Amino acid sequence: ADEEPEAPEVPEGTPIASIVIVEENIFDLSKEDENNWLYRWMNRLHIVTKPKTIERQLLFSEGDGYDQRLVDETERILRQNKYLYDAAIKPAFNPEGELEVEVHTRDLWTLTPELTLSREGGENKSEIGIEESNLFGTGQQVVITHTDDVERRGNVFEYYDRQLGASWVSLRLLLADNSDGHSRLMSLIKPFHSLDARTAGGLTLFDDDRRSTF
């Protein structure tokens, strides 16, 4: 009774009448072993991935003809995201006989704090940071780090967007302000995101200024 029904066989080229995005939180509270105060609290704090974040990664749209290869490839693209635990795409026919494609995703906890304190040779070393790999459910990644040791003090800010706007161009920014200089990096990369992609390229700008403290 708990087994899911098998997906129907869909003839290639069948028009896709609608696409339904089903986003699930980190924990499934309908399961007894996941329905406890800690998991409920984490679900409430977590911002579930937004439908638009998932939609812009699909290799098919409403009105397209059904193509199992593109469905399988889209599943692989979605599963590459470090903020998703899993992704599955299921075709189904509605009562009117129209093809509906359901895209199911489950989130992971994406907020990761970091705190490192150590002492060696009479010197203290500390590193404090935080990483969010699904900022406000958009799939964007932000890392902020502060380090302090005998050789260097500094702050680092990193930003990464796998899909800038609605494109397949990724944007990465890095700003580092250290006691011995600074670093600046910006890169725009368009990869071969799918088997049908015919062009790829990129641009990286890097500025690094280091000053000797000796």
pLDDT tens for 104-145 read 999 999 999 999 888 777 778 889 999 999 999 999 999 999
pLDDT value, residue 9: 85
Express as a percent the part of the chain with pLDDT over 70. 95
Checking if the pLDDT of 198 tops 70, the result is: yes
Q: Any residues with CB less than 8 A from the CB of 103 and at least 6 apart, and which?
A: 19, 20, 21, 22, 54, 58, 74, 78, 87, 88, 89
Which is it for strands 84-93 and 16-24: parallel, antiparallel or unpaired? unpaired
Residue 118 in tokens: 């150590």
pLDDT of the residue at 68: 95
Mean pLDDT taken over the chain: 91
- Return the pLDDT at 179: 84
| Nearest-angstrom CA–CA distance, 214 and 207 | 22
Above 80 in pLDDT, residue 2? Answer: no
Q: Is 129 exposed, middle or buried (0-12, 13-18, 19+ CB in 10 A)?
A: middle
Q: Residue 212: what pLDDT? A: 63
Given pLDDT bands bounded at 50, 70 and 90, which one contains residue 164?
Answer: very high
Closest CA to 83 of 22, 134, 138, 44: 134
pLDDT for res 166: 84
Query: Of all helices (H) and strands (E), which one includes residue 75?
Result: helix 68-79
Q: How far apart are CA 98 and CA 100, in angstroms?
A: 6
pLDDT of residue 4: 61
Question: Is 50 exceeded by the pLDDT of residue 30?
Answer: yes
Report residue 39: phi and psi, to 5°. -70, -35
pLDDT (0 to 100) of residue 120: 74
* CA distance between the termini of the chain: 72
CA 21/CA 2 separation, integer angstroms: 22
